[in-house]
Chains A and B, each alone.
Chain A
Amino acid sequence: MNTKKITVATAWLDGCSGCHMSFLDLDQQLFDLIAQIDIVYSPLVDAKELPAMVDVGILEGSISSEDDLDKARLFRQHCKLLISLGDCAITGNVPALRNQFKLADVLNRAYYETATVQAQIPTRGVPALRVPVKPIHGEVVVDVFIPGCPPRAGAIGYVLTELLAGRVPDPSSVTRFGA
């Protein structure tokens, strides 16, 4: 048996981090997983750089900004298997609600109309927003989809366990859009 651990990288793009929280909700099952996987890059660990090659990449959130697009492309380039985690990554979900409005109107609403102090649209050090907001597979090829808002911890655990066992998971057997 190959004793080398499977390497996993995760990132959140335009999401609320809820899918990552749901992953943490695996609680005790995390210890079983950690025996088989090594999280090499993630908001949950300290590594600052994505390694040259990772076995499994997990992306939460939609592609809403230039930075999101860069990260999605980077993950596709460096991950053998790419997973879209949660409804924002798969459908655009809540971030994509802004697609019905003009971007200027959305920014005005957020930074002028509802601001109480220092009303201004941030421009320095923030990535430009893209139109329209897209699911990740709208820009790069995605291999596995885990719907849910967020997917239950058990659903994430099921998919990862199946993949580790070398089987093709059927996420629809355990989760759905909006679950």
Chain B
Amino acid sequence: MAQPAVIPNVRVVTLTIDDRDLSAREDETIIEVCRENHIPIPSLCHLDGLSVWGGCRLCMVELEGQARLFAACATRVAEGMRIHTMSEKLKRYRRTIIELLFAERHHVCAVCVSNGHCELQWLAQKCGVDHVRVPYRQAAYPVDSSHEMFRLDHNRCILCTRCVRVCDEIEGAHTWDIMGRGTDCRVISDLAQPWGTSDNCTSCGKCVQVCPTGALVKQGTSVGEMVKDQHFLPILARRRHAQ
């Protein structure tokens, strides 16, 4: 389920985030409360309107009294919770995660259609990643241009699975899925067939719009021209669950 329906008469809890006293509905997650209160939490897999994935680990926060870190997108708030989102340790972890994403595949911003409209590029800047300390893997991944309207460049994919979830949960087609492990892991259309041959892809383009990088883009765009439009998602997700 993408989003639980709003339950009336839900309890309200009080908590602190970065020493700010806040109140929230008890069915909310930490990242939702942070976004409502304009507390910036970086994330690449979480998207309002889609189910929780918890894969990118960028939204990790510290909870007082707990030794391990918690994914803000996958943790519900509770009474008396004391949350820290901006410690030096968290900043260091986030920076490292972003560097590893850049090193894993081939993210060359200067020659990317999403240059200037990319969430990975934007987060790198926000988190102060001005260079990558680990060696680049330099592995070549395929590009699928078989679809007449869209293109998939695995070199720029960060495996956030937003495309998989939006296609399944919102469009209802489930054209996308995930195949392979480790560095071989990649998104596939149908049973790893060329996207253009897919019978169940409706060519709606929702996967293209929710993709945070230049992995899924419109055909015919050149450097910097792929502007993403995600306004449809929260509207559709709310209407779907209001029924």
- Greatest chain A CB density within 10 A among B107, B116, B136 is at B136
B108 touches A93 (CB 8 A): yes
At the interface, yes or no: A81 with Cβ under 8 Å from chain B? no
B115 proximal to A (CB < 8 A): yes
B131–A132 touching, CB < 8 Å = no
Pairwise interchain contact A100-B112, C-beta atoms closer than 8 A = no
Q: Is the CB of A172 within 8 A of B130?
A: yes
Closest beta carbon of chain B to A116's beta carbon, Å? 26
B32 to chain A, nearest CB (A): 27
* Interface residues of B, dominant DSSP: loop
* B10 on interface, CB distance cutoff 8 Å: no
Q: How far is the CB of A105 from chain B (nearest CB, A)?
A: 12
- Taking a contact as CB atoms under 8 Å apart, the answer to whether A138 and B135 are in contact is yes
**A142, B131: Cβ atoms under 8 Å?**
yes
Of all chain A residues, the one with the shortest Cβ separation from B141 is: A100
Q: Which residues of A contact B66 (CB under 8 A)?
A: none
Range, interface on chain B: 20 to 34
Q: A11 at the A/B interface (Cβ < 8 Å)?
A: no
**B131: contacting residue among A84, A96, A100, A170, CB under 8 A:** A84
A137–B131 CA distance with the chains assembled, in angstroms: 9
Say which size band chain A's interface belongs to. 20 to 34
Q: Which residue in chain B gives the minimum CB-CB distance to A18?
A: B110
CA distance A93 to B107 in the complex (A): 9
Return A48 CB to nearest CB of chain B, in Å.
Answer: 31
The CA-CA distance from A87 to B140 in the complex, in Å, is 20
Q: Is residue A99 contacting chain B, with contact meaning CB distance below 8 A?
A: yes
Chain B's nearest CB lies how many Å from the CB of A164? 19
B130 touches A145 (CB 8 A): yes
Known: A96-B136, A100-B140, A178-B115. A135 touches B131 (CB 8 A): yes
Any chain A CB within 8 A of the CB of B124? yes
Q: Is the CB of A149 within 8 A of B131?
A: no
Q: From known contacts A135-B131, A171-B130, A172-B125, infer whether A87 and B110 are also in contact, taking CB-CB under 8 Å.
A: yes
For B133, give the chain A residue with the smallest CB separation.
Answer: A137
Query: Contact between A97 and B128 (Cβ–Cβ < 8 Å)?
Result: no
A30 to B153: give the CA distance in the assembly, Å.
42
Interfacial chain B residues near A158, Cβ < 8 Å: none
- Whether B121 lies near A178 (C-beta < 8 A) is yes
Q: Which of A145-170 contact B (CB under 8 A)?
A: 145-147, 149, 170
* Interface residue ranges of B177-196 to A (CB < 8 Å): none
CA distance A93 to B109 in the complex (A): 8
Write the B131-153 contact mask toward A (1 if CB under 8 angstroms, else 0). 11101101010000000000000
| Closest residue of B by beta carbon distance from A136 | B131
Contact status B136-A177, CB under 8 Å: no
Q: Across the interface, which residues of A come within 8 angstroms of B140, CB to CB?
A: 100
Chain A 50-74: CB-based contact to B (< 8 A → 1; otherwise 0): 0000000000000000000000000
Contacting pair B128 A149 (CB below 8 A) = no
A176-B128 contact in complex given A87-B109, A94-B110, C-beta closer than 8 Å: no
Q: Residue A90 at the B interface, CB < 8 A?
A: yes
Query: What are the 10 A-B residue pairs with the smallest beta carbon separation, nearest first?
Result: A178-B109, A149-B110, A176-B125, A100-B140, A145-B130, A177-B109, A99-B138, A145-B131, A172-B128, A178-B115
Residues of B in contact with A (beta carbons under 8 Å apart): 102, 106-112, 115-116, 121-122, 124-133, 135-136, 138, 140
Q: List 9 A-B contacts (CB under 8 A).
A: A91-B132, A97-B108, A137-B131, A142-B131, A149-B110, A172-B129, A175-B125, A177-B110, A178-B115
